[in-house]
Each structure stands twice: as C-alpha cells, then as structure tokens.
Amino acid sequence: MSYCVNCGVELDQTASFCPLCHTPVVNPNQPVDTQSPKPFPTEPGEVAPASKQELSILITAMLACVAVCCGVLNIFLQSERVWSLYVIGAAVMLWIWLVPPLLMRGMHLLLRLLLDITAVAIYVYLISLDQNGTPWYLGLGLPIILWGGAVVLLLGLVLRVYRRSLITSVTIVIGSAGVFAVGVEAFVDRWLHGAWSPSWSLVVLAVCVGMVIPLIIIRRVPSLREEVRRRFHL
C-alpha cells in the first residue's frame, strides 16, 4: 500500500499519479502495477442522444398524463361544465402536431400541414359545438384557420428555397405576418359588416413592410450584412 508523499492520500496499486494532487508516485518497494485494471473509468462516458421514439413516448406520456389528470379532477370536483374536454382536446391536438413528425422520417411538409390544420379545425369546431356557435365557426373561425394554413404553407415552401440565410428567413416571416393580418381583418369585416373595410390590418402591414424594406437592404449590401452578422453573432 502506497501513500501520496504530498497530501497523504491512500493510493491504489495501479496509480502512477496521485488522483488528488497529481504528484508522481515513486515507491521502490512497490512498483506501479500497470497490468491490473484501474479502479476508475479511464475514458469519459457518453450518454447516447435520445432517440425520436423515446422522445415521442415521453411526449405521449406527458400529454396523456395531463389529459387524464384533468378528466379525473373534473369528475371529482363535480362541476356542471365538462371543462376537461377542452384540455383533452388541446392535448390531442398537440400530440398530432408533435408526435407524427417525430415518428415519420422526412414527413412531407404538405401532409404535415394538412394534419396540423385539420387538428386545429376539429378542435375549434368541437369548442364551437359546446358554445352553440356553429355559424360563427363556419363564417369566421374556419376561414381564418384555412387562411393561416395557406400562409404557413406558402411560408414553408418559400423558406425551403431561401433557408440559407437567417436574415432572409426573418424577412419572409415578418412579411407573411403582415399578409396574414390583412386576411384576418378581411374575414372579420366580412363576417361583422358584410364588406371589407381595411383599417388595423393596414397598420400591421405598414409596420411589417417598414421592417422588411431595411432587412432587404441589409441583405443586399455586403458591408451592412457583415456588420449585422457581427453585432448579432449570426
């Protein structure tokens, strides 16, 4: 048995250095045993990254847990309204958004969007049924959901082509937000007044255009682009 001459810690037979103070071990009576295995791992352990299956199981378990807990709580609290159905519907919608894209590798953008929009449309429809608001759903809710889906689809297709640059992506997203706002106001006006009289959405559109134009200039002028990249660590 050897002890460190510097800090006095007891040393394993295989130690050539003190594990605490790194003093070399020199004991003429007991040479360092280089054959026996070391008492500690010599290579850093690595944890394998979580697989998509494991992640989808985790998400499913979390959402199911929330849904079941709310259902049970609803039963025990004996409230008149079945409010837990709202939470359960939201959990189902989130599951459709998150899990199929994880499990199906290379899921087509169109299929994914179709699935997501259908989930939102069904969820809002069920809410409208509960609130006795089917005309509202057909006249206003569904058109806005479909309009949102169309804008996101266009956004996805354009971003696929221009995904190289973050500045370009941000420009496209801001521009789409402006266009979406105009569409939403058009549907709201048509539902409320029967005719489209643009007001607030034009303000949103103007703000978006006001942000898009400088971003396009930055994208086009190399010196500005480099300055922005440096300042924002892009």
Residues at the contact surface with Zn ion, assessed by CB under 5 A:
4, 6-7, 18, 20-21, 23
Q: How far is the CB of 13 from Zn ion (least distance, A)?
A: 16
As a whole number of angstroms, the distance between CA 75 and CA 144 comes to 34
Q: Pull the structure tokens for residue 159.
A: 């971003």
Query: Please, which residue, 23 or 56, has the CB nearer to Zn ion?
Result: 23
Query: Please, which residue, 23 or 176, has the CB nearer to Zn ion?
Result: 23
Query: Please, which residue, 6 or 30, has the CB nearer to Zn ion?
Result: 6
CA 164 centroid distance within chain: 20
Query: Please, which residue, 13 or 23, has the CB nearer to Zn ion?
Result: 23
As a whole number of angstroms, the distance between CA 40 and CA 233 comes to 41
Q: How far is the CB of 3 from Zn ion (least distance, A)?
A: 9
Closest CA to 201 of 120, 136, 144: 144
As a whole number of angstroms, the distance between CA 183 and CA 189 comes to 10
Give yes or no for a contact between 225 and 218, defined as CB atoms under 8 angstroms apart: yes
Q: How far is the CB of 45 from Zn ion (least distance, A)?
A: 25
Q: How far is the CB of 12 from Zn ion (least distance, A)?
A: 12
As a whole number of angstroms, the distance between CA 10 and CA 30 comes to 14
